[in-house]
Structure 1
């Protein structure tokens, strides 16, 4: 695990304690934007590998990696070169024409997934919407569900995006409240409760749409055997299993896909984030011909979906994953992260969940909210993100060096010790 990955510029190199960016830079960034985010007060100007530098020259270790969009690190040389080469050739044709990068991307991504067909889109939410449309069309055309009666089972605590259809089956009030009315056709069951899922299946059920690991929920891991049970229930009832691997997939958990941990193959892979290498938005739904083949020209599309630049970067991402080095690195560094985090249980942490290089940690509420702990980490040169109160997610770039990861976790230990 050496030359394939970018070295850090300087191990643990927040040599002076960083502080928030100058108020003027923060205020300027916020002045003309809709406040749909509540970012930490830092303004990033440059990044390489697992390190980011703000407008004042302060360096920060990135333990978020763009919610897994930056699995291969910032400014990864292979991906930057793939993008740069394509920029001088061709960037967009629309799907009205075929371009020379399209076939390789679809074939190689399909092979990585072990599936026949690929439907490229741009964002994760678009890919989820695509999977919903495909599942309903399959239900009507193949399963024989009566028109407009199709139902899809989803899980409580889910996060699949923020379109109106998707937030309609969310139980997060911040995502849902104030945006109705919502589309019907979704049945929610408790995440991880196989019996409830099986009981919810009816003749009109066309798909089960779940995250193999719930990322936004705080890296919530399913019970052992749950994914195998979902697969079995779907097969037995002629229902599609659609796995939202947008955050969990493409090396993050130590396997190519989170479903691989239970040897499960869904009918539809829903992919995004890391597929664009942190350079361009790229997403896709991948499945076999008997499922994705239900779509006909004009029934679904996207102006930018599968554009040449996206395909050039996406193909390089697939080739980087094909050798398994990044998956192995995530598994190895995940063991280090698990060991260091579990040592903090009872010392400021009340819960730890780790799968590969992805962790959800629950802060003792007596010590502060997740936001407050993230602000204290930022002051020490570490950037992470809270979710749902006192929970924080860690998802470092897979190229992070072990010493840098250990240094970042040391900062967490120090912050917790100071708060106790």
Structure 2
């Protein structure tokens, strides 16, 4: 593993001189449409630390947006990729297939919920996999419409932009978007009426779908079991199971978008397992391959096999390096007990953040599962979103050597996605920094 001292350290002001120099080069050469959360450039990363080009070491509570779940430069991943790159880097699976792709598909069949026969197809990104899941559902059902939910984020391709709820920065000025995409109300316990349990929220969504779309026209319902960019919203118990039941009664494919919530992130291998829900199709990406580009659609054999030969694929989909990494990631999760580690991380975060909430009424809600935890910030004495506070807290954390991300439809949510290889000491120190920032901002 890359040797990086596992401690927070500020060698310079943030950003340092070398990062400042590189940022000037970025401005001169990279489209301004590609923004960065932090003004520093990475040099090395391992465990729970990212080190920048000026020698500053940051506690990583972001994991590259839930990607380096097993840690950056995880030993098994490094060894697997090194061995594969020496063997071959590409043949295109659709031309000359290779065993690594099959191994990944076999693991996905074993790990995803459901004891039925399954098939998988591999792609490059979460957006691409979501789009292909919709293609598969449409082909299987012979229907066109797709239902998604308020606060959803599904990607940046044309179809997935239509499926994504938030306009800025993901959709503004990029239309027209793909058609036959409809939006239903999400279960949002913090902002729903107090008597709105999961079953009632599902009934609300289903009645709208039946009235505005019609089950006879609906190919798929696509949902994040824990919403990501939308604010780490965990639906009320019973919401997902009621949706699945309705889908199965109406020949509608239930697609779980587990791009951000999958692969041990929530304290289960997949987030739907918290409710015992079995999707027809599961979409994986982000944490699947330790930082290499890989995504997958996995599901019921009869649905996946509805597509004609040649209807799915792509030049780089299931690249052999990414497949080698994914196999090593799965081995690391299972042999190092990282599902259980995510549960431990949850306890550390929730204990500290609930204490912060009790002391500071600007912390409106604390929520999440496993190592996918968030706080929703509001103006004192109200439930009015406070995006300025979220932005200020994140910026202050960055300046003090802690990587924190924001999210949410209203931009008022701090999200925490630490690698599962991070130590409790680093978690505690990162939380200490955040709690101090809240105290100073009053």
Structure 2-normalised TM-score? Answer: 0.88
Structure 1: how far apart are the matches of 2:2 and 2:238?
Answer: 36
What residue is the counterpart of 1:137 in the other structure?
Answer: 139
1:398 equivalenced with 2:420 (yes/no): yes
Residue 165 of structure 2 aligns to a residue whose secondary structure is coil
1:418 equivalenced with 2:440 (yes/no): yes
**Which consecutive residues of structure 2, in runs of 5 or more, have no partner in the other structure?**
188-200, 381-385
- Mapping for residues 3-402 of structure 1, pairs under 5 Å: 9-10=5-6, 12-14=7-9, 19-22=14-17, 23-36=20-33, 37-94=35-92, 95-113=94-112, 114=114, 115-140=117-142, 145=143, 150-174=144-168, 175-192=170-187, 193-199=201-207, 200-201=209-210, 202-278=215-291, 280-323=292-335, 325-345=337-357, 346-347=359-360, 348-365=362-379, 368-387=388-407, 388-402=410-424
**Pairwise CA RMSD of aligned residues?**
2.0
Structure 2: how far apart are the matches of 1:314 and 1:91?
Answer: 15
Call closer, same or farther: CA 1:54–1:15 in 2, change over 3 Å: closer
Structure 2: how far apart are the matches of 1:324 and 1:270?
Answer: 24
1:182 Cα deviation from its structure 2 partner: 1.6
Call closer, same or farther: CA 1:416–1:128 in 2, change over 3 Å: same
Structure 1: how far apart are the matches of 2:430 and 2:403?
Answer: 9
Structure 2: how far apart are the matches of 1:99 and 1:389?
Answer: 44
Residue 228 of structure 2 aligns to a residue whose secondary structure is coil
**Which consecutive residues of structure 1, in runs of 5 or more, have no partner in the other structure?**
none
1:296 Cα deviation from its structure 2 partner: 1.6
Deviations 1:329-348 (A, max 9, x none): 00011111111111111425
Q: Is the 8 A contact 1:225 1:262 kept in 2?
A: yes
Is 14-23 or 383-392 further displaced after alignment?
14-23
Residue 227 of structure 2 aligns to a residue whose secondary structure is coil
Count of residue pairs the alignment pairs up: 406
Structure 1-normalised TM-score? Answer: 0.92
Structure 2: how far apart are the matches of 1:129 and 1:58?
Answer: 39
Structure 1: how far apart are the matches of 2:10 and 2:128?
Answer: 42
1:349 Cα deviation from its structure 2 partner: 2.1
Call closer, same or farther: CA 1:21–1:15 in 2, change over 3 Å: closer
Structure 2: how far apart are the matches of 1:407 and 1:8?
Answer: 17
